[in-house]
A and B are shown apart, each in its own frame.
Chain A
Amino acid sequence: AQSVTQLGSHVSVSEGALVLLRCNYSSSVPPYLFWYVQYPNQGLQLLLKYTSAATLVKGINGFEAEFKKSETSFHLTKPSAHMSDAAEYFCAVSEKGTYKSIFGTGTRLKVLA
């Protein structure tokens, strides 16, 4: 069965500091992995996705994530946080041939001036 664990429901960073949001997954077959972002009072939108083409995936707004099979991880990073990055971030997993995406519980990122 698929599952996703996001460590840290709240993360605070200073503006200009490194952003690191953690995601570990469980899947019986090679997974597809996603990061979605939710700004206040909005729906979720895709930040980036891993589809086995490359282990380092670049997304929008300067975010990237690295797939590490040995660690079953797909952590999200950004070198320098901006105030506009304040949002809730969700990691999700799905398997090829299925229509279900399983979401983590989310990490709320706060950026301090």
Chain B
Amino acid sequence: NAGVTQTPKFQVLKTGQSMTLQCAQDMNHNSMYWYRQDPGMGLRLIYYSASEGTTDKGEVPNGYNVSRLNKREFSLRLESAAPSQTSVYFCASSEVGNSGANVLTFGAGSRLTVL
């Protein structure tokens, strides 16, 4: 019962460095998401993938790229990290249920600090 697994859990970067956050889900969900969580701002959608082979921008996509590697995996890349990208990042997956509602299942989060 792993659900959604994110790696790494913690990372410290220097400004300008690059890194990739990895996410995998084992629930056979079609849709996957990356959110960032900042104090007082709730969760903001960075990118999402409605299904394998598609990706779309969310509310705050600037400075990020994503790859939907296969149905299970969805990675988030920071090409040139900036202090403003210091945040907690959450990956989520979902499948639309019989009710039509899109219920999200979240990973445990990745805490990123950019110095």
Contacts and interface: CB of A to CB of B under 8 A. Distances in A.
B53 interface: no
A52 B45 CA distance: 25
Contacts of B103: 34, 46, 49
A34 to B, nearest CB: 7
Interface of chain A, main secondary structure: loop
B48 A103 contact: no
Give chain B's interface residue range (CB within 8 Å of chain A).
Answer: 20 to 34
A44 B106 contact: yes
B63 interface: no
Interface string B87-107: 000101010000111111111
Nearest to A42: B108
A21 B29 CA distance: 31
Interface of B: 4, 31, 33, 35, 40-45, 48, 50, 58, 90, 92, 94, 99-109
